Structure 1
Amino acid sequence: MSKELKTGIVLIIVIIAFIWGYNFLKGQDLFQPNNRYYKVEYNNIGGLTKASLVTLNGLKVGKVDEINLNESPEKRGHLIVQFSMHNDFKFSKNSVVKIYSPNPLSGSNLAIIPSYTGEDAVSGDFLKGEIESSLFTSIGERLDPIQSKLEKVIVSADTLFHRVNNVLDKKTSESLRNSVQELELTIVDFRTTLGSVNSLMNESSADFKETLKNTKSITANLSKVTDTLANSNIGEIMKKAEMTLSSVNSLLDGMDKGKGTFGKLVNDETLYNNLATMSKELEELLKEMKLNPKRFVHFSLFGKKAKPYNEENNKVNKTTQ
């Protein structure tokens, strides 16, 4: 065998190995040709790529071969996924091909949910497709409404801040700054006042303690007085006082009715009139004795008679001598 022939054979083997390795990395096995092809239509493939696995009840049975856009006008934007199977598993056309993600960090694969009712699926048939919600898809679906509301809140906050900026112009900012400074001065004055009050309280604490001591002493004395009153026979005293008042009332009632000496003295008008007359006559007698003393003490060597009583002169305090 010539050297050139050996080189050609080695080159052919290397090329075949390269082609086989390239297709093997793509998921194609040249020594096990694909038997059947199926197509599924999706509006979103969720990260599915060529050479993604196809499983049936968890067993790898094929791979994704092609992903193409649907060119029909009524389904523009939809994707047609073609996958192939390497074995002769049979299932009906009612089976479902679902896109799923084995874990959050890996890509998507296809899972055949087989159905055995109805006509068997043959190569080239279109199967029904579904998408299984992954963790991130569910989170995204939940976050979409929150994102929309958050955007509205941000817009409202931006509008609010814009209005606040319009309100807080230079003049308003200056007034607000002055108000803050005045508030700070007020707080300083308030602290000074509190310091003065504390000093006053410290100075008055001794007097306050003495006052409390005196109050305590007064309270103790009052307690003793109340104890004495509690121990005394208040009921008996009140009873005797009531009897005394009753006797006084009876006495006053008898006096009012003219009973007894003092009652007759108070209520007898004749006695009052006699006393009044006697008082008047006594007054006239005293005046007469004062004006004409010789009428009562008379001494005459020559037998001269005293002048008689003159009522008119007595009324005007005039002597008759």
Structure 2
Amino acid sequence: MKISREIKTAILVLSGIALFIFLFTYLKGEDLFTSSNNYYTKFDYNGLTMSSPVTIKGNKIGKIEAIDYDFDSGKTIVEFSVTPKLKFSKNSKVRLYQTGLMGGSALAIIDAADGNTAQAGDYILSEVKEGVISSLGDDFSGISNDLGTTLKSADTLVNSLNDLVIDDSDEGLKKTIAELNSTLKSFKNVAFSANDLIRKNDEKIASMLENFDKTSAELAVLVKSLNEANLANTVKNLDEMILKFNQLASGLEAGEGTMGKLLKDDALYDNLENATKELELLLLDIKLHPARYRRILSKKEIPYEEPTAAELNNN
């Protein structure tokens, strides 16, 4: 059977059209030889593009089929398809997330796994996961404000340095740099002098540090000895003794006991004073008339005579 040229041309044209359709659908991410189930969800804004992937646990299982804006509700209605092999709950959520730092969005199915299997054509609740760039937006704004403040401070510092340089000509700048070099040389000389002084007194400094270490060790031993000596109990006993002295002084002040009565009872004091005077007169009489007391056993009694004023003054 001979095929005419017209039929051959028609077959080539139809084959080209079929190949074009296949390539076009392939570039759109569609597969003509596989079936899928379509579902719907809604977002407050659109961050997706046609053929954006649909994933579950990071695995691609579908793609975006259509994106339409609902003028009545002001929401974006997204139609997406997934492989029929996937069974997920109708109460799951479809999460919009960014796939990279430079943008690009996708949908992820967060399965509720409650046994209520979704059917093709069902509406699934949606949520939006904030991306890295958008989450850093507020931080970048704060950083930019801080950077602006820092730049203003740097500008103020530069202006202050310019004010210090009275002559801003080439000669003035050279003179300022020369003075700065002179100041740095002075600091360098001071540093060398300090290093030389430390080097010459290195042994003394080492000895002083060693003595300081020994003193610290001895002080630690002293503190340990005081702790072992139970200084707290000693202070407590001293407090108790002082308290007893205070109680004794209070008793004396109140006239308690013999000492208290002696201090507070005027009659007792007068009696003791009179007894002392009489004892003094007795001793004086013994001194002046010893013969009177040698005859105590004698029948002849020698009467007592009070000493005269002259005798009292002489003794």
TM-score range (shorter-chain normalised) is 0.3 to 0.5
TM-score normalised per structure 1? 0.44
Choose 1 or 2 for highest CA Rg: 1
